[in-house]
Amino acid sequence: MFRPLGASVPRRHRRTFEAPVRRRSYDAGMSMRCALAFVALVPLAACGGREPAVEEARPTVVSVAAARTDELRDVASVSGTIVPSSVADLTIYAPEAAEILELPKKPDDPVQIGDVLVRFDIASLNQELAALELEVLDAQSRFDRAQSELTRQADLFARGIASRNAHEDAKLAQATAESALGAARNRLDTARAGQTRSVIRATFSGVVAGLWHAERDTVRPDPSDPIIRIIDPSRVQVSVQLPIVQLARVVPGQTATVRAIAGAVDEEATVASKAQLIDPAAPTGEVRLNFVQPATLPLDTPVSVSILLDRRAEAVIVPTQAVIRDEAGTWVMVAGEDGIARRRAIRQGLVAGQLTQIADGLSDGERVIISTPADIVDGEAIAIAR
């Protein structure tokens, strides 16, 4: 039934309208109290009613190596080749511009000591000899005239016809002519001795290993213009090229081992010589080695060579990567038995590749950190990796 706005509701009908309202109010109040109670309980449930604990720092895991006492050897390992000995390898070049008059040997011919290898016609030498021979003839003629004049003046002076001054002048002229003749003869003898440059003879027995010219060829005094090469195949050496840094540490007499690339036996050798560097920018230099026993390897055999540059007996050795050098000095990080890393100043000795001698500051058996030791702080807690 329709009632005007603001009209009162009969009492019998009020329960119908008010009951739902009270129920909703009760439900809303209960919901609010439950929500507040839940919010209040969440922190207690999450934290258990205690403050959060502080996590302790974990030690740094490191790799270590124990210092050991052993012999430390610094070895230069390089490849090389079997070559003729330097004293049994002769390559002939022209002493100056010349023509080859005689070249009797052919490739692979045997050669004996004293054999003629090449005879040159050196035009400048021939011209010099001809001029000196004329000079001697002229000096001889002047001497003969001076000698005759002295004899005549001596006779006149003895008879009282010539003056003493004239006699003395004749003596001086004769002495001067004699001195000039002697000097001319010496120059001629020297030039004739120099003729030996035009004939080259073998100084050892061997074979012809190379021939680049023939008779009547014109040759020049140039390292790029060889004429003939003689070697003795029975006398060989090992030739290697070493980097300049290692070459500076090589001295004659150092021991070495030589092995053919395809072989299995080491042969003992010693350093015989090393090249004197002319070009300072050269990256390498040659080293020659002599075999201790007669060589069994033929010429041109490729070999591997190990030259002992230095060695230290009873040396305290650690991996090179454990050693740090900075403005404060040279040091290592020692892994203590108490799990603490400690910086230790040391004195470095011989360095041989991956190993370094500790001359002072470290004892046999002490452990040094090898995994980035520069990143470890003195006094830091560490754990050793297994």
Question: What are the tokens at 341?
Answer: 């890393």
Check residue 55 and give its pLDDT: 54
Check residue 373 and give its pLDDT: 86
Considering the domain architecture, whether residues 94 and 197 belong to the same structural domain is answered as yes
- 57: in domain: no
- 255: in domain: yes
Considering the domain architecture, whether residues 83 and 93 belong to the same structural domain is answered as no
Contact 106, 385 (CB under 8 A): no
Check residue 44 and give its pLDDT: 41
Check residue 29 and give its pLDDT: 47
Considering the domain architecture, whether residues 120 and 161 belong to the same structural domain is answered as yes
- 216: in domain: no
Considering the domain architecture, whether residues 118 and 108 belong to the same structural domain is answered as yes
C-alpha 142/C-alpha 156 separation (Å) is 21
- 114: in domain: yes
Q: Domain boundary at 263, 279, 311, which?
A: 311
Q: Domain boundary at 181, 201, 221, which?
A: 201
Contact 325, 363 (CB under 8 A): no
Check residue 26 and give its pLDDT: 40
Considering the domain architecture, whether residues 300 and 249 belong to the same structural domain is answered as yes
C-alpha 307/C-alpha 253 separation (Å) is 10
- DSSP H helical ranges for the chain: 11-47, 123-158, 164-193, 244-247
Q: CATH number, domain at 259?
A: 2.40.30.170
Give the number of domains in the chain: 3
Q: Domain boundary at 266, 290, 311, which?
A: 311
On the CB side of 42, CA atoms within 13 Å amount to 5
Considering the domain architecture, whether residues 246 and 336 belong to the same structural domain is answered as no
- 46: in domain: no
- 3: in domain: no
Considering the domain architecture, whether residues 284 and 299 belong to the same structural domain is answered as yes
Check residue 188 and give its pLDDT: 87
Write phi, then psi, for 280 (nearest 5 degrees). -65, -15
Considering the domain architecture, whether residues 166 and 265 belong to the same structural domain is answered as no
- 292: in domain: yes
Check residue 342 and give its pLDDT: 95
Instruction: Name the residue range of residue 131's domain.
Output: 89-201
Considering the domain architecture, whether residues 336 and 257 belong to the same structural domain is answered as no
pLDDT < 50 regions, the chain:
1-49
On the CB side of 339, CA atoms within 13 Å amount to 8
Considering the domain architecture, whether residues 303 and 372 belong to the same structural domain is answered as no
- 140: in domain: yes
Q: CATH number, domain at 371?
A: 2.40.420.20
Contact 210, 107 (CB under 8 A): yes
Considering the domain architecture, whether residues 149 and 123 belong to the same structural domain is answered as yes
**Nearest alpha carbon to residue 144 among 156, 152, 190, 157:** 152
Cross-strand bridge partners of residue 267: 258
pTM: 0.63
Check residue 344 and give its pLDDT: 95
Check residue 52 and give its pLDDT: 53
Considering the domain architecture, whether residues 191 and 290 belong to the same structural domain is answered as no
What is the end-to-end Cα distance of the chain in Å, rounded? 94
